[in-house]
């Protein structure tokens, strides 16, 4: 284990930003901190970097308590969201900063800088000052500076936030390989769920002063701990419909647009409660009229999104739902149609708290739920 946070609390004046946050990161793992702005992701990174101090709790790096250890002695590399390049130094001096701190020889420094710059494809702009660099080059320079010292822990604070969409896409493909090559433990902050899914070995979802759920990208996607996480992960966004589960002789049933949808019998505890049902757009499919449990809808519009096609439809009660299917699959594109849900892939949430209503057989699978 290369990094452990134990019960971290951080307040700014009277406002609590992080409340009792605990986290462990294994050596060589890439952990993504994902969440909306203001969730405390950057604060958490800064606590690890040592530029701010926690009000309570313990930070361990390689098992050593970091209390009172200055940022320069923690052996980490960090790339800032706003790049934070040194404006009066050229790109090569910027990248060399972690090396000059170790009093390496001039030759060794320029060798290492050259190698890192080449890897990030900025070797042709090494003599430019930050203000002469494009945004993409600045971002790569900031990343190169973080990597140059070959730190055992690498903190990346939303490094792709301030670059254009094309570059972000390229870097999203490039970064996982780059990070694996470094063999460093990486903590990566982002607000983009695709980035989180693409880069993370595990994802920690942060909101409301703490970590809501930690798990593999697949785990988070398939077993969201609450309604917010379900909404954040997935494109198009999950369909959320208000329901009240009822019991019938055979099990638990909810009514969606007047049609009964049979749920797993494990949801018996939720009977009679105000709930929200979450159905992923890809768990819905078009069926022919008369199929059992088919929900009648009116198709509003259809949008082809490269590898998939998304249909926006209205139920009889006037609620919008989205249906996603692989591109090329034939389906009605206008008028009235019928859809059916794969009931093994639906989620039930408490309408008041937003927490996932677990069905009893899944209780043992529950992970990190708030």
Partner 1 sequence: MESTSLIERILRGIAITVVILFFMFPIFWIFLMSLQTNETILRVPPSMVFEPSLQNYRALITGQLETQTGTLEIRFMGNLFNSFFLSTTSVAIGLLLGVPAAYAFARLKFRGSEDIAFTLLSFRFAPPLLVLLPLTIYFQQIGLANTYGGLIWVYQLIVLPLILWIVRGYFEDIPADVEYAYRIAGHDFWATFRKIALPLAGPGIAAAGLLAFIFAWNNFIFALVLASADKQPVTVGALAFITASGIQYGQIAAGIILSIAPTFALALYAQRYLVEGLSLGAVKG
Give the residues lining the site for partner 1 (CB under 8 A).
46, 49-51, 70-72, 74, 76-78, 80, 82-88, 97-98, 100-102, 130, 145, 149
**Hey, is 192 helix, strand or coil?**
coil
Residue 64's contacts (CB-CB under 8 Å, 6 or more residues apart) are none
Strand partners, 214: 204
Task: Report d(CA 253, CA 244) in Å as an integer.
Answer: 9
Nearer to partner 1 by Cβ, of 131 and 292: the residue is 131
Cα angle 51, 150, 170 (rounded to 5 degrees) comes to 95
Q: How far is the CB of 171 from partner 1 (least distance, A)?
A: 20
Q: For residues 3 and 76, which CB has a smaller minimum distance to partner 1 in the complex? A: 76
Comparing CA positions, the residue from 210, 207, 203 lying closest to residue 38 is 207
Write down the least CB distance from residue 88 to partner 1, Å. Answer: 5
Contact criterion met (CB below 8 Å) for 362 and 266 = yes
Instruction: Find the shortest distance in angstroms from Cβ 12 to partner 1.
Output: 12
Cβ distance to partner 1 smaller for residue 149 or 224:
149
> Closest distance between partner 1 and the C-beta of residue 6, in Å?
22
Q: Which is nearer to partner 1, 131 or 289 (CB)?
A: 131
Q: How far is the CB of 94 from partner 1 (least distance, A)?
A: 9
Provide, rounded to whole angstroms, the least separation between the CB of residue 40 and partner 1. Answer: 17
Tell me if residue 234 falls in helix, strand or coil. Answer: coil
Cβ–Cβ < 8 Å for 179, 22:
no
Structure token pair of residue 17: 């930003």
Q: Kindly state the smallest distance separating residue 323's Cβ from partner 1, in Å.
A: 45
Q: Which is nearer to partner 1, 60 or 84 (CB)?
A: 84
Question: Residue 102 or residue 292: which is nearer to partner 1 going by CB?
Answer: 102
Give whichever of 91 and 256 is closer to partner 1, judged by the CB atom: 91
Cβ within 8 Å of residue 34, ≥6 positions away: 41, 189, 190, 191, 193, 196, 200, 203, 204, 205, 206, 232
Q: Is the dihedral of CA 281, 282, 286, 287 positive or negative?
A: negative
- For helices 106-119 and 91-100, give the axis angle rounded to 10 degrees: 120
Toward partner 1, which CB reaches closer, 41 or 356? Answer: 41
Q: Is 40 helix (H, G, I), strand (E, B) or coil?
A: coil
Task: Look at the block and give the residue holding tokens 């052996």.
Answer: 75
Find out whether 7 and 15 touch, Cβ atoms under 8 Å: no
**Whole-number minimum distance, CB 179 to partner 1, in Å?**
18
């Amino acid at each position: 284990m290369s990094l452990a946070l134990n019960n971290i609390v951080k307040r700014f004046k009277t406002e609590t930003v992080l409340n009792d946050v605990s986290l462990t990161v294994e050596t060589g793992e890439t952990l993504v901190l994902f969440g909306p702005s203001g969730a405390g992701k950057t604060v958490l990174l800064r606590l690890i970097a040592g530029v701010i101090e926690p009000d309570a709790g313990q930070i361990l790096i390689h098992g050593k308590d970091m209390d009172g250890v200055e940022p320069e002695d923690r052996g980490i590399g960090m790339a800032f969201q706003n790049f934070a390049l040194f404006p009066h130094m050229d790109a090569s001096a910027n990248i060399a900063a972690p090396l000059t701190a170790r009093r390496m020889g001039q030759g060794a420094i320029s060798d290492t800088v050259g190698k890192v710059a080449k890897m990030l494809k900025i070797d042709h702009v090494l003599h430019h000052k930050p203000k002469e660099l494009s945004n993409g080059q600045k971002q790569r320079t900031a990343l190169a500076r973080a990597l140059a010292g070959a730190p055992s822990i690498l903190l990346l604070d939303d490094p792709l936030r301030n670059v254009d969409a094309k570059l972000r896409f390229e870097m999203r493909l490039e970064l996982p390989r780059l990070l694996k090559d470094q063999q460093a433990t990486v903590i990566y902050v982002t607000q983009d769920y695709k980035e989180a899914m693409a880069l993370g070995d595990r994802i920690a979802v942060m909101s409301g002063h703490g970590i809501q759920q930690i798990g593999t990208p697949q785990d988070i996607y398939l077993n969201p701990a609450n309604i917010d996480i379900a909404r954040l992960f997935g494109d198009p966004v999950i369909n959320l419909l208000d329901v009240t589960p009822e019991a019938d002789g055979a099990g638990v049933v909810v009514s969606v647009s007047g049609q009964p949808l049979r749920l797993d019998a494990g949801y018996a505890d939720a009977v009679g409660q105000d709930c929200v049902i979450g159905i992923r757009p890809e768990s819905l499919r078009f069926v022919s009229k008369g199929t059992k449990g088919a929900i009648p809808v009116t198709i509003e519009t259809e949008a082809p999104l490269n590898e998939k096609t998304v249909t926006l439809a209205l139920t009889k009660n006037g609620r919008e739902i989205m249906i996603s299917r692989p591109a090329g699959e034939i389906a009605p594109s206008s008028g009235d149609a019928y859809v059916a849900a794969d009931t093994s892939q639906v989620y039930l949430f408490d309408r008041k708290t937003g927490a996932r209503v677990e069905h009893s057989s899944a209780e043992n699978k529950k992970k990190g739920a708030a």
